[in-house]
Amino acid sequence: MPFVLTKMSEQNDLVKLKVEGMTCTGCAATIEKYLKKNNLKEVRVDFVEGLVQYIPELNTSVETISEGINKLGYRVISHTGDKKKLSLSLVNQLIISGIFTLPLILHHVFPGALKFLHPPYIQFLLSLPAVVIGLNRFLPGAWKSVWSGSPNMDVTICLGAIAAFIYSIIGWVSVRPEMIFFETAASILTLVLLGNYIEHKGVKKTSSSIDDLQKIAVEYGKMQMPSGAVVKIPLMEIGKGDLLIVAEGDAIPLDGVIVAGSGLVDESWISGESVPINKSIKDKVIGASQLISGNFTMKVESVSNETVLSKIIDMVKKASFQKAPIQRLADKISAIFVPTVLIISVLTFLVNYFFISIDLSNSLLRAIAVLVISCPCAMGLATPTAIMAGLGKAMREGILIKGAGTLETLGKTKNIILDKTGTLTHPEIEISYLAAEDEIEIAGMVYAMESKSSHPIAQALIKKLSGFKNPLLLTSHVSEAKGKGLTAVDPNGNRWSIGWSEDTPGIQVSKNDELVAIMKLTDSIKPDAQSFVTQMNHYGITPFLLSGDAQDKVKSVADRLGIQHWQGRLMPDQKVAEIKPIQSSGPTVMVGDGINDGPALSTADVGVSFSQASQVAIQSSQVILLNDKLSTLSKSISVGRQTLSTIKQNLFWAFSYNIVAIPLAAAGYLNPMWGALFMAFSDLVVIGNSLRLMWSRIK
């Protein structure tokens, strides 16, 4: 029975499998092609992590799919520990092959210095372990890939090594030294093993953001027993509502709310803010944050995969699994690459031997060099390594991106649509009560109703009216209408509403349809708003300001920030109507945080919201910013642009390498040993360029 990481019982639920034996993007492509042939949906294959995921058809069992993957030359493994064994096995294979291959390479380079290696039988014995180890690793996958109709890079490697080895044996038996090149067979396989190892380690670094997140997860929480003793409890045994003790220097184990005590909390892992935040009773705390000073008791509100950390890890994993649209070209070329190289190799031998009159040995060497120097992996790695590096870079800046395609679209952005309140401005509110004696009741009801909303205005009201919080004023039937406001019923059956009116400036508060208070808003432009707009103009991105606020207020903000395109008094459906024609001029990003922004965020090519935004806004967005700084929004665009640039550089290198290297090998300028080395080097250039993206400065 295969080990299934995730599997639900119902049709159309995601299945995840651990698979051993994938060594390159060609392997991933082979498995992906097989899964799609079986009409599976949402197919994703990650050769770095050894993960396969898909949505099954009704009559397709996990066992059937696992058996099919096994027949391709891979193995659906039974437990996660096998991954470590696989990595260790690769290291051992590389060391053993290297020990036996190195003398052969030295003999080839310095033939006069190592005369004891001249006898062919010694060269045969030295090459044999490397050939056996290499073919044991690559031949099963090569054979199964040919049998399945999807030949991968293993085919070219094995053909080159086998041809060199058999031809050398023939030369040894027939006593023809010019036909003996055992070092070629051994070095091809050893150098490819070396390339696989370095590639595996390098690609893992581009996806290190997931590992970094998993490392900060806490394993235990402290709970006080009835006896007064404080004991450590594994997180799996902690449930919602449990009370945990957090002492100075501890990492907060799970998400929750403080019920006693206070302290300074470092939330830099999620917000990017290095300054600790003072937290006290009723304040929310996020798991994996660090308590710098103080002590408190917290009530657990989220456990297991419901925590912020778990959701972020899941989001990053899903994003790294997805393919960017730009990868489709590389995938199409990779699919026909190996058959094309095989044809070129055969033609190289025929042309050299029959038409150019090159001797048999050199003609064969040139054909082998073509096989081993070709590198479809570089094309396959070009996009995913850059995407993984870009996602990791974004996450370290407090930017969560839900998909690889989103990162690419950010890099191509031509228009950015901004909401006013909460995005460009901070709302400041002045409340006028029509009946002063009812101030406490009105303020308490406004607080109770607005606490149900995550709109920036609601958050500003909650902060302003925090002193009027009254547990007795629990509301029922609270509803929020997009772009209009809130309605509720208090414990006495009174109907309350908070919202805009065409006749009266400001936000009206009504009780039983009678006006009882008016709230006037003024806007304080965020400190980094001007620099953000300037940066967008510098990028060639056109900013638009679309808001539901009054025309004069929207115009005032637009004029102060130099935004030429603006529109006020827009209902949610009107925002959508405004966005559609803007999209015709290029990829469009929408930034918003209220429930009324949901339709617009879904309509835009990329929706962006802040982590404090409404659930509707967050669910409608592909990018979530973990703080409310516009500089973070600017960084998300910059990371997208840098990632897209890195992908293009990688693809240019991958295509250029093969266009130049294959003809050089066919013409005899590169022997198979150097061909194998250059093939590994080609992968490293792509990986290194992607790693450079991770640490480059955001412009």
Between 288-292, 428-432, 464-468, 605-609, the lowest mean confidence (pLDDT) is in 428-432
The label of the residue with tokens 């996806």 reads 207
Phi, psi of 331 (to 5 degrees): -65, -40
CATH of domain 426-525: 3.40.1110.10
N residues, the chain? 699
pLDDT band, very low/low/confident/very high, at 324 (cuts 50, 70, 90): low
Across 39-43, 107-111, 220-224, least confident range: 107-111
What is the crossing angle of helices 360-373 and 182-206, to 10°?
10
β-partners of residue 426 are 524
In the CATH hierarchy, which top-level class contains the domain 404-423+526-621? alpha beta
Contact 490, 445 (CB under 8 A): yes
The two tokens of residue 208 are 């290190």
Q: What is the pLDDT of residue 560?
A: 92
- Which has the higher per-residue pLDDT, 237 or 206? 237
284-307 exposure pattern, b = at least 16 Cβ within 10 A, e = fewer: ebbbbbbbeebebbbebbbbeeeb
First-last CA distance in the chain: 50
pLDDT of residue 11: 43
Identify the pLDDT of residue 614.
58
What H or E segment, with its residue span, contains residue 261?
strand 255-266
Contacts of 671 (CB under 8 A, 6+ apart): 184, 365, 369
Number of other CB atoms surrounding residue 415 within 10 Å:
22
Report the pLDDT value the prediction gives residue 475, as an integer from 0 to 100: 58
Residue 88 pLDDT? 47
Lowest mean pLDDT among 95-99, 500-504, 517-521, 536-540: 500-504
The top-scoring range by mean pLDDT among 41-50, 74-83, 90-99, 179-188 is 90-99
Quote the radius of gyration of the chain (alpha carbons, Å). 32
**Mean pLDDT across the chain:** 81
- Least confident window among 23-32, 66-75, 393-402, 487-496: 23-32
Q: How far apart are CA 220 and CA 58, in angstroms?
A: 40
Residue 178 CA to residue 165 CA, distance in Å, equals 14
Percentage of residues of the chain with pLDDT beyond 90: 20
Helices (H) and strands (E) in the chain, counts: 22, 25
pLDDT at 418 over 80: yes
- Selection from 515, 498, 440 nearest residue 473 by Cα: 440
Whether 170 shows a pLDDT value over 90: the answer reads: no
Q: What is the CATH code of the structural domain delimited by 239-302?
A: 2.70.150.10
Q: What's the pLDDT band for 10 if we cut at 50, 70, 90?
A: very low
Q: Which of the given ranges, 25-34, 512-521, 662-671, has the highest pLDDT on average?
A: 662-671
pLDDT value, residue 274: 60
* pLDDT at residue number 613: 57
Res. 6: pLDDT tops 50: no
Non-local CB neighbours of 144 within 8 Å, separated by 6+ positions:
71, 72, 73, 74
How would you class 11 by CB atoms within 10 Å of its CB: exposed for 0-12, middle for 13-18, buried for 19 or more? exposed
Q: Residue 208 has what pLDDT?
A: 61
**Which one has a higher pLDDT value, 630 or 325?**
630
Query: What confidence tens digit (pLDDT) does each residue in 585-611 have?
Result: 999 999 987 666 778 888 899 989 887
CA distance 498 to 511: 9
CB of 535 closer than 8 Å to CB of 559? no
DSSP letters along 148-200, please?
TT---HHHHHHHHHHHHHHHHHHHHHTT-GGG--HHHHHHHHHHHHHHHHHHH
- Helix (H/G/I), strand (E/B), else coil: 110: coil
Residue 559 is among the residues annotated as catalytic for this protein: no
Give residue-wise pLDDT tens across range 268-316.
Answer: 776 656 668 888 888 889 888 999 999 999 999 988 778 888 877 777 6
Handedness of CA 621, 624, 628, 633 (dihedral sign): negative
Q: Please report the pLDDT score of residue 86 as a whole number.
A: 45
Among residues 46, 250, 255, 419, the one annotated as catalytic is: 419
Instruction: Label residues 73-88 b or e (16+ Cβ within 10 Å = b).
Output: bbbbbeeeebeeebee
Q: Would you say residue 416 has pLDDT above 90?
A: yes
For residue 395, pLDDT over 90 is answered with no
Closest CA to 650 of 693, 676, 685: 685
Q: Which of the four pLDDT bands, split at 50, 70 and 90, describes residue 569?
A: confident
Q: Which residue has the higher pLDDT, 696 or 271?
A: 696
154-181 mean pLDDT: 84
Q: Which of 50-54, 400-404, 577-581, 623-627 has the highest mean pLDDT?
A: 577-581
* Residue 87 pLDDT: 46
**Closest by Cα among 233, 250, 255 to 311:** 255
pLDDT tens per residue across span 618-666:
677 888 888 878 888 999 999 999 999 999 999 899 889 889 999 999 9
Residue 77 is encoded by which pair of tokens? 């493994």
> Spelled out in words, what is the top-level CATH class assigned to the domain 4-80?
alpha beta
**Three-state DSSP state, 403:** coil
- Annotated domain spans of the chain: 4-80, 84-208+316-388+646-695, 239-302, 404-423+526-621, 426-525
CA 182 distance to own-chain centroid: 44
For the question of whether the overall pTM of this predicted structure is more than 0.95, the answer is no
**3-class SS string, 651-692:** HHHHHHHHHHHHHHHHCCCCCHHHHHHHHHHHHHHHHHHHHH
Question: What's the longest Cα–Cα distance across the chain?
Answer: 113
Residue 28 has pLDDT above 70, yes or no: yes
Going by pLDDT thresholds of 50, 70 and 90, the confidence category of residue 41 is: confident
Q: How far does CA 224 lie from the centroid of its chain?
A: 39
Q: Which of 59-68, 96-105, 231-240, 270-279 has the lowest mean pLDDT?
A: 270-279
pLDDT bracket for residue 437 (50, 70, 90): low
